[in-house]
Amino acid sequence: GQQLNQSPQSMFIQEGEDVSMNCTSSSIFNTWLWYKQDPGEGPVLLIALYKAGELTSNGRLTAQFGITRKDSFLNISASIPSDVGIYFCAGQPADRGSTLGRLYFGRGTQLTVWP
């Protein structure tokens, strides 16, 4: 099956620091999505990327769709305590014949922010 490698698995940072996490795939994707999950809730979409090389921001968050179409990264600038949570990448393979309708998820990055 499809594999998405998300790293790092966890991060412990101080408030105000910048954060970077990434996701790589073994095959070409045509969509990359980044989600955040707060404790006890479902994942919420942060940023969606649909084009190779695309760089998109959402407040302090910036994500990029890698030009090889096999990777994506998410940056958080000037972290604050409410950034705590699990961040997931997800992708839609370009080969939709065998995987129509499916998104694949990374295993998540657990972010802890110390005040």
Partner 1 sequence: NAGVTQTPKFQVLKTGQSMTLQCAQDMNHNSMYWYRQDPGMGLRLIYYSASEGTTDKGEVPNGYNVSRLNKREFSLRLESAAPSQTSVYFCASRFLTGYNSPLHFGNGTRLTVT
| Sequence-distant (≥ 6) Cβ neighbours of residue 24 within 8 angstroms | 4, 5, 70, 71
Name which position in 30, 56, 75, 77 contacts partner 1 (CB under 8 A). 30
Residue 45 binds partner 1, judged by CB under 8 A = yes
Q: Are 71 and 22 in contact (CB under 8 A)?
A: yes
| Sequence-distant (≥ 6) Cβ neighbours of residue 41 within 8 angstroms | none
The CB-of-108 to partner 1 minimum distance in angstroms stands at 5
Considering only residues 60 through 79, tell me which ones interact with partner 1, judged by CB under 8 A: none
Binding stretches for partner 1 (CB under 8 A): 1, 6, 30-31, 33, 35, 40-45, 48, 50, 88, 90, 92, 96, 100-103, 105-108
